[in-house]
Amino acid sequence: MNAFSEIWQDFKNGLLVENPLMRLMIGLCSSLAVSTRVENGLFLGVGATFVLVCSNVIISLIRKIIPDEVRIPMFIVVIASFVTIVDLAMKAYFPGIYDRLGVWIPLIVVNCMILGRAEAFASKNPVIRSAADGLGMGMGYTIVLIIMGVVRELLGTGSIVLFENTIVTLGSGFKPPVIMIMFPGAFLTFGLLMALLNRLQNRVDA
Amino acid sequence: MGEIERYILIFIGAALIYNILLIRFIGLCPFFGVSSSIETSIGMGLAVIFVMTVASAICWVVWNYILYPLGVGEFLYIPAFILVIASLVQFEEMVIKKASPTLYKALGIYLPLITTNCAVLAAATESVKPGFLKLHVAYHFTFIEAIVYSLGVALGFTVVIIMFAAIRERIDVAPVPRSFKGYPIAFITAALMSLALTGFSNLFGL
């Protein structure tokens, strides 16, 4: 396998085969909490992807000089610095969305997806492959957030609003079940999405 | 409002009305990860009560006497708190190992896992910036209130994870459709439990 297809493989891995949310079951908390709206999912997804790619690159660069015993605190400090950048940047440029995401931006630090990839991938692989892995994982995460956001926002409010423009609407005859944007709707959507994926997988395997 | 009355309100608000797992989706990784048996979930619950209360107390002191007076709180609180939590977990592990080998054995691997439990970071952050809670906007907890708050959060976590483990033990032996086996049905169960807890919302006007 040449270098390029190896990188492509690392990137593709995160999208479906090892999708962090659907397959590895990591980084769940934020995905359930913010998927009430497509917009929220998009912003948190982009923020997490940024942190994931940057921290993977830095950790991969310094992987040979970190003593094994203190690697976890080192990783956390690298991740926390990038999260602080996202935290302050989002507060400055998108204050409305920052308020809605609230505690979830600082909580990217302890999103197990990021520390998990640092530990499992970036600390063992060269820089470019780590960047590809970070990008793939981040996009896999963002895609699931957006799918959940579409389902919950459409069913829960009857329309999808993106940057204050209504994209899709189900018409005024549709009475939205509020439960979908409330807490139980998140668990329900995620469980059904996972069951659907399992079913497709079973079909393919059979 | 009397002193005691306020403590009780903060406690109930933190434990039930804004339950950290089912209403706010924080700390879900251990919620699904270690809830496969009642025993392990009791161990995890005890470890969380211990770490969360002490971490919040220390972070409150760090914020109010170091970060805030120096004016660096806004951009240093994430790395500072996560370092407090990580070193605290390590420290507590050593102390418990020395002082009470039985407790150490009971807590087992759950102690180190707590570092990446976002519930601890969330409780610590909120005990200095309770605005996140939408309970007391622009309100600052006193030291005792911060402890009452984090104790409430931790107890809410423990009660829910033990109940969830009890239900999952039953579901394991029930006939479930093939695509729903394992995690998907656990999510549907969580949805129903979350639905039950929404019944507490607006209690005491919180």
Domain range annotation of chain B: 9-196
**DSSP classification of residue A122:** I
How far, in Å, CA of A123 to CA of A136, rounded? 17
Q: Which chain A positions have a beta carbon within 8 Å of B86's beta carbon?
A: 72-73, 76
What are the backbone angles phi and psi of residue A159, rounded to the nearest 5°? Answer: -155, 165
The answer to whether the CB of B118 falls within 8 A of the CB of A29 is: yes
CB pairs under 8 A between A and B: 122
What digits encode the pLDDT tens for the residues A41-80? 888 888 889 998 998 899 888 888 888 777 777 888 888 8
Tokens found for residue A121: 């991938």
What whole-number distance in Å separates Cα of residue A14 and Cα of residue A92? Answer: 30
Residue B108: per-residue pLDDT: 64
A23 pLDDT exceeds 80? Answer: no
Length of chain A, in residues: 206
Q: Does A128 touch chain B (CB under 8 A)?
A: no
**Predicted pLDDT of residue B205:** 57
Spatial CA neighbour of B194 closest among B149, B163, B151: B163
**Prediction ipTM score:** 0.72
In angstroms, the separation between the Cα of residue B192 and the nearest Cα of chain A is: 7
Report whether B86 contacts B149 (CB < 8 A).
Answer: no
Which residue positions in chain B have pLDDT lower than 50? Answer: 132, 136-137
Integer Cα distance of B4 and B25 in angstroms: 29
- The answer to whether the beta carbons of residues B119 and B157 sit under 8 Å apart is yes
Question: What is residue A99's predicted lDDT score, i.e. its pLDDT?
Answer: 81
Structure-model confidence comparison of residues B148 and A169, the more confident one: B148
Does the beta carbon of B72 lie under 8 angstroms from any beta carbon of chain A?
Answer: no
Average pLDDT over residues A88-112: 81
Contact yes or no for A14/A136 (Cβ under 8 A): yes
pTM above 0.90, yes or no: no
**pLDDT tops 70 at residue A1:** no
Helix axis angle for A38-61 and A127-157, nearest 10°, is 170
- What CA–CA distances, in Å, run from A165 to A151, A160, A169? 18, 8, 11
* Chain B residues whose beta carbon lies within 8 Å of the beta carbon of residue A73: 83, 86-87
Selecting from A103, A186, A195 the residue whose C-beta is nearest the C-beta of B122 gives: A103
Cα–Cα distance between A129 and A131 in angstroms, integer? 5
* Residue B74 distance to chain A (closest CA, Å): 9
| Top-ranked range on mean pLDDT: pick from A195-199, A200-204, B108-112, B135-139 | A195-199
CB A138 within 8 A of CB A48: yes
Q: Are B7 and B127 in contact (CB under 8 A)?
A: no
Give A173-189 pLDDT, tens digit per residue: 777 777 777 778 888 88
pLDDT score for B155:
92
Taking only residues 57 to 86 of chain A, the set having a beta carbon closer than 8 angstroms to any beta carbon of chain B reads 72-73, 76-77, 80-81, 83-84
Contact yes or no for A33 and B121 at CB 8 A: no
